[in-house]
A and B are shown apart, each in its own frame.
Chain A
Amino acid sequence: MSTISRAEVAHLAHLARLEVTEEELDAFAGQLDVILESMKTLSEVDTDGVPPTSQAVPLVNVFREDQPQPSLQRDDVLAGAPDSAEDRFRVPQILSEEE
């Protein structure tokens, strides 16, 4: 029995924009336990006062000067698009999620 419910997986799938199947919901619910196990294991580790790491050599203040560089040619920009119109990327109706 998995710890994470199908409903929870369905919510995650929606957040990730994956139209998962019923079978996938079951499978993922079980496999998500891997991450819960990982969490449980890691929560045993005392990390009080330990800073996080994401780089071998931590870099700070990596900036770029405000100098223009050439953009891509618009034809190249749109060449890979599934659909375009009027020099823009065309998409089907946006049902408002953010409005």
Chain B
Amino acid sequence: MTERIIDKTAAALAEDIREGRLTSVEVTRAFLDRIAAVDGEIKAFTTVDAEGALAQAAEVDAKLKAGEELSPLAGVPIAVKDLFVTKGLRTTASSKMLEEWIPPYDGTIVERVRAAGLPILGKTNLDEFAMGSSTEYSAFGATKNPWDTDRIPGGSGGGSSAAVAAKMAPLALGTDTGGSIRQPGAVTGTFGGKPTYGSNSRYGVIAFSSSLDTPGPVTRTVLDGALLNEVISGHDPKDSTSIPQDVRPVADAAREGSGGDLSGVTLGVVKEFAEGSAQGAEPGVIEAYQAGVEQLVKLGATVKEISAPHFAYALPTYYLIAPSEASSNLARYDSVRYGLRVGDDGDNSLEQVMSKTREAGFGPEVKRRIILGTYALSAGYIDQFYGQAQKVRTLIKRDFEAAFAEVDALVSPTTPFIAFPFGSRTADPYQMYLSDLYTIPSNLYGGPAVSVPAGLSEGMPVGLQVMGPVMRDEVCYRVAAALESTQSPILAETAPEAEEA
């Protein structure tokens, strides 16, 4: 069987386009066709912009023909999580609140993606305002996992991971507040990278929790993730929390890692995670993860047990900080300047219209977190709640720093369980929150962390997480690419072939 365009990696497609073997229009059309064929079933996209994508592709082709020097991913199309603001292209955050919002501006990362010549295929589904771990909280219906359409594709960025896993896009953008890039990556057998907080601009990314939100790449391979991250990362003067330094080159690290040599690299496993795993991690997940670690040892890495005593507090810390910030960030959806308005019948006051709009426009999980956050910030509690949580963050950060004095990176399962069936965890919010048990510490610390496929459990993908020191994203890419070099054949052979309609 000849390799189809949609089977190729982004790096390979970029080279084909650069070398003139394919045009961007051909490539873009192939993915649009694939979307048309399988997205009726998978429902990864909230909006598909075929016309816009083809126009951008034609532009890139013209530029290449004219001999213009373009970015390393020029011409390769991309899917964008519907949390990124796109000028002239509907941006919903998968909420009824913004169902018809057409933004008048582009966010910084979208600007960079456009400038680099990556046609935007469309916007992908998510848990409403990125709050969730399954995309079941999307106002437009859940996205399905291409490996098993009765199961969740992870969340909040389940649309992006499913689009990549089902080969509807070679590249996608995600955002990671507590694991929303890595956990969907793990459960769909794709790569997800959460960069160092502050290395990728948040300007134009709809805010969930400002001190945690981190945009990053969702791809099939580690190298593709690295190439995409290099397109989007770097200082942005429009984001006051953007670090005024360049991230170290991650693509080179990915190439180095794919050589399969990890000699001299010391990896840490977190003792407290192992203890915590007894409470919830599935044996199959632990097994696949441990097999992954053994592979890394075979490649020359040394493994060491590390104690991070405050990781035990990561989940409660996160569930104080994220809702607090969210309750404030989401106050702007009030029916005045944009978005939904309900109940403006001439009798209701503005306050009533606001309350009715927010009641109708937000789904249950968003409301729950707004109430939680409002409570956590309300009079007399700020020091007990938000203040204390930000201090515990410091202790978690110190645990990481102490660990990185001894090891180059930490490894863990990405998520305690494989993709679960729809509806199995929505009744109890805490069961859903457990999905992010292993991913949350890196968000609180701010350092980079990636999830890379590490085998299967019950026929479903399992992810291995690599966590690195702040601004040392390249370490994660190197280790992940090394593991990928041992794993990808397994995945490639068993990866799902979504049925084309």
Residue in A closest to B352 when the chains form the complex, CB atoms: A19
Cα–Cα, bound, A14→B90 (Å): 30
Tell me if B196 counts as interface (CB < 8 A to partner A): yes
Q: Are B353 and A92 in contact (CB under 8 A)?
A: yes
Q: Are A56 and B390 in contact (CB under 8 A)?
A: no
Cα–Cα, bound, A80→B103 (Å): 8
Tell me if A68 counts as interface (CB < 8 A to partner B): no
Partner of B375, one of A20, A32, A50: A32
The secondary structure that dominates the B interface is helix
Fill in one digit per residue for A51-67: 1 if any B CB lies within 8 Å of its CB, else 0.
11111110100101000
Partner of B388, one of A43, A56, A95: A43
B residues near A85, Cβ cutoff 8 Å: none
Q: Are B197 and A55 in contact (CB under 8 A)?
A: yes
B residues near A39, Cβ cutoff 8 Å: 316, 320, 384-385, 388
| Given the contacts A19-B358, A53-B390, A80-B338, A41 and B371 also touching, CB distance less than 8 Å | no
A residues near B384, Cβ cutoff 8 Å: 39, 43
Residue in B closest to A14 when the chains form the complex, CB atoms: B355
Q: Are B351 and A91 in contact (CB under 8 A)?
A: no
Cα–Cα, bound, A16→B371 (Å): 7
Q: Are B237 and A80 in contact (CB under 8 A)?
A: no
Q: Are A19 and B359 in contact (CB under 8 A)?
A: yes
Q: Are A41 and B240 in contact (CB under 8 A)?
A: no
Q: Are B196 and A13 in contact (CB under 8 A)?
A: no
Q: Are B390 and A19 in contact (CB under 8 A)?
A: no
A residues near B358, Cβ cutoff 8 Å: 16-19
Cα–Cα, bound, A57→B470 (Å): 8
Number of A residues with CB within 8 Å of any CB on chain B: 53
Q: Are A17 and B354 in contact (CB under 8 A)?
A: yes
Partner of B351, one of A21, A42, A83, A95: A95
Q: Are A94 and B349 in contact (CB under 8 A)?
A: yes
| Given the contacts A37-B316, A39-B320, A59 and B371 also touching, CB distance less than 8 Å | no
A residues near B385, Cβ cutoff 8 Å: 35, 39
| Given the contacts A47-B395, A50-B391, A53-B390, A18 and B341 also touching, CB distance less than 8 Å | no
B residues near A20, Cβ cutoff 8 Å: 359, 367
Cα–Cα, bound, A4→B331 (Å): 23
B residues near A24, Cβ cutoff 8 Å: 364, 367
A residues near B317, Cβ cutoff 8 Å: 38, 42
A residues near B352, Cβ cutoff 8 Å: 19
B residues near A80, Cβ cutoff 8 Å: 101-104, 337-339
Fill in one digit per residue for B371-400: 1 if any A CB lies within 8 Å of its CB, else 0.
110111010000011011111111101000
Fill in one digit per residue for B91-131: 1 if any A CB lies within 8 Å of its CB, else 0.
00000000001111100000000000000000000000000
Tell me if B274 counts as interface (CB < 8 A to partner A): no
Shortest distance from the beta carbon of A63 to any chain B beta carbon, whole Å:
9
Tell me if B147 counts as interface (CB < 8 A to partner A): no
Q: Are B372 and A59 in contact (CB under 8 A)?
A: no
Q: Are A47 and B101 in contact (CB under 8 A)?
A: no
Tell me if B429 counts as interface (CB < 8 A to partner A): yes
| Given the contacts A45-B313, A53-B390, A16 and B340 also touching, CB distance less than 8 Å | no
Q: Are A89 and B393 in contact (CB under 8 A)?
A: no
B residues near A43, Cβ cutoff 8 Å: 384, 388
| Given the contacts A18-B355, A72-B104, A53 and B397 also touching, CB distance less than 8 Å | yes
Q: Are A93 and B390 in contact (CB under 8 A)?
A: no
Q: Are A16 and B370 in contact (CB under 8 A)?
A: yes
Shortest distance from the beta carbon of A68 to any chain B beta carbon, whole Å:
15
Q: Are A18 and B370 in contact (CB under 8 A)?
A: yes
Given pairs A17-B334, A43-B388, A45-B388, 19 additional interface contacts (CB within 8 A): A17-B331, A18-B362, A18-B370, A32-B375, A34-B319, A34-B430, A38-B315, A39-B320, A39-B384, A41-B316, A51-B391, A52-B390, A53-B394, A53-B444, A54-B211, A57-B198, A57-B243, A59-B244, A91-B335
Q: Which 4 pairs of residues, A with B, have the shortest CB-CB distance?
A: A56-B446, A52-B390, A38-B316, A82-B341
A residues with a Cβ closer than 8 A to B are 4, 9, 12-21, 24, 28, 31-32, 34-35, 37-39, 41-43, 45, 47, 50-57, 59, 62, 64, 72-73, 76-77, 79-83, 89, 91-95, 97
What are 19 sample pairs from A and B whose C-beta atoms fall under 8 A apart? A17-B354, A18-B367, A34-B430, A35-B320, A38-B319, A41-B313, A42-B316, A42-B320, A45-B388, A47-B391, A47-B395, A50-B394, A52-B391, A53-B390, A55-B198, A57-B470, A59-B240, A81-B337, A94-B351
